[in-house]
Amino acid sequence: MSVLDLARAELRGIRPYVPGAYEPGMIRLNANESPWRSLGDTSERGLNVYPPPRPTVLQVKLADYYGIEQKQILVTRGSSEAIDVLIRGFCTAGKDKILICPPTFDMYRLYASIQNAGIVRVPLLAERDFALDVDGILKALDANTKIVFICSPNNPTGQSMARADIERICSETAGRALVVIDEAYHEYASGGHYLDLRNRYEHVVLLRTLSKFVSLAGVRCGLIVGAPELIEFAQVVLPPYTFPTPSIELVQETLSQDSLRVSEERVATIKRERERLASALRDVPCVVKVFSSDANFIMVKTRNGQEFRETARRAGILVRTFEDPLLADCVRITIGRPADNDQLLKAVSGVERTSHA
Ligand SMILES: Cc1ncc(COP(=O)(O)O)c(C=O)c1O
């Protein structure tokens, strides 16, 4: 059985768009572009010409950085677009479903709703520090459940899911559903990643993003890591020319050795600050619980979430609260620079603390 047997049948035979060829050094009268650059266009390629249909140069660099074969990667506009592409590719509107484990990243729900796909919810086990309910997930699957989304480390709760749980889900869903493991925060985690599962199972897909650890949320660059035939199929769903030239050139710079070294140092700082903030928040009287985190944020349960948020706001800091009853009075705090974290601690505890950073 091929993983594409799970995909929307009517998409499997679609003929992809054939873009006009781009050959450096040739006069380009084949794509109805302007022959002149606009004023202020300092890009290397020139913004008067279309970007390449796919940012192949980035796919080569990212494949090298992550140690993955290039044919297993598709670059998307943020991993958000990757979620959309997978749902549109695998869920027939009004018939198929995705399975999610709330509280989790809300975009899975949003894109499923846009596609008119059903949403099966198997909540994380709050009493077990938001672990996966593996039996519940396996029981809830049926022939129309096409994608199981697992977010690890999970947003907004922060924990990595237990590897044994993910392995069991992957082994028991083979041939039944895609398992999409969203690794948006894996660079901040102490445990490993799931590339080995991706390589072992055709139906396992990973999502990665450059929005967090290399500081490029504004550029919108993410990727799908999947079996080569799934990547080929995803290219039918994702139209050509979606990734703009300035983004390509910027990401290329960010993937230089010097830039990556800085990003890695920053990740180390965020991890140190996460532990410092967590430990200080445990002493704050209005904080009931500080959840463990493997991400660049911490979730805390407070006596009164709104009050906590407003106290932070009066000190010039925005933090996130939630409407989900599972997260009543919980607040998600992104780890900032040491001075930002000091300011938050001072605001919510009234006690001055300094990071000495
Ligand atoms: C778990 C998770 N996945 C995916 C994303 C989307 O990231 P982006 O579209 O910026 O790559 C986010 C953003 O916060 C996230 O928290």
For residue 18, what is the domain's CATH number? 3.40.640.10
Same domain (yes/no): 281, 226: no
> Looking at the 3D structure of the chain, how many domains does it have?
2
Q: Is 296 in the pocket of ligand 1 (CB under 6 A)?
A: no
Give residue 192's pLDDT. Answer: 76
Beta strands across the sheet bearing 330-334: 287-290, 297-302, 330-334, 320-321
| Atom 8 in ligand 1: residue holding the nearest Cα | 78
294 pLDDT exceeds 80? yes
353 pLDDT exceeds 70? no
Same domain (yes/no): 142, 21: yes
Same domain (yes/no): 28, 165: yes
Among 218, 236, 255, the domain boundary falls at 255
Q: Please indicate, yes or no, if residue 100 is contained in any of the structural domains.
A: yes
CA 228 remoteness from chain centre: 20
Q: Is 222 in the pocket of ligand 1 (CB under 6 A)?
A: yes
Same domain (yes/no): 204, 325: no
Of the candidates 197, 88, 110, the one whose C-alpha atom is nearest the C-alpha of residue 152 is: 197
Same domain (yes/no): 244, 276: no
Q: CA dihedral in degrees (42, 43, 49, 53; nearest 10)?
A: -170
Q: Please indicate, yes or no, if residue 356 is contained in any of the structural domains.
A: no
Q: Tell me the pLDDT of the chain averaged across its residues.
A: 95
Same domain (yes/no): 263, 199: no
Same domain (yes/no): 246, 287: no
Q: Is 104 in the pocket of ligand 1 (CB under 6 A)?
A: no
Q: pLDDT for 149-199, tens place per residue? A: 999 999 999 999 999 999 999 999 999 999 999 999 999 998 878 999 999
Among 255, 285, 302, the domain boundary falls at 255
Which one of 106, 182, 216 would you pick to mutate in the ligand 1 pocket, going by the greatest count of ligand atoms within 8 A of its CB?
182
Give residue 1's pLDDT. Answer: 79
Same domain (yes/no): 217, 312: no
- pLDDT band at residue 342 under the 50/70/90 scheme: very high
Q: Please indicate, yes or no, if residue 85 is contained in any of the structural domains.
A: yes
Query: Which residues constitute the domain of residue 106?
Result: 3-255
**Cis amide bond preceding 338, omega within 30:** no
Q: Is 78 in the pocket of ligand 1 (CB under 6 A)?
A: yes
Same domain (yes/no): 138, 286: no
116 pLDDT exceeds 90? yes
- pLDDT band at residue 354 under the 50/70/90 scheme: low
How many other C-beta atoms lie within 10 A of the C-beta of residue 126?
12
Q: pLDDT for 202-256, tens place per residue? A: 999 999 999 999 999 999 999 999 999 999 999 999 999 999 999 999 999 999 9
Q: Rounded mean pLDDT of 274-293?
A: 97
Same domain (yes/no): 279, 318: yes
Same domain (yes/no): 149, 215: yes
Give residue 17's pLDDT. Answer: 80
Give residue 352's pLDDT. Answer: 66
Distance, in Å, from the CA atom of 63 to the CA atom of 49, rounded to the nearest integer, reads 26
Give residue 48's pLDDT. Answer: 96
Same domain (yes/no): 247, 296: no
Among 255, 290, 311, the domain boundary falls at 255
Q: Please indicate, yes or no, if residue 13 is contained in any of the structural domains.
A: yes
Give residue 355's pLDDT. Answer: 67
Q: Is 80 in the pocket of ligand 1 (CB under 6 A)?
A: yes
**CATH code: domain of residue 286:** 3.90.1150.10
357 pLDDT exceeds 90? no
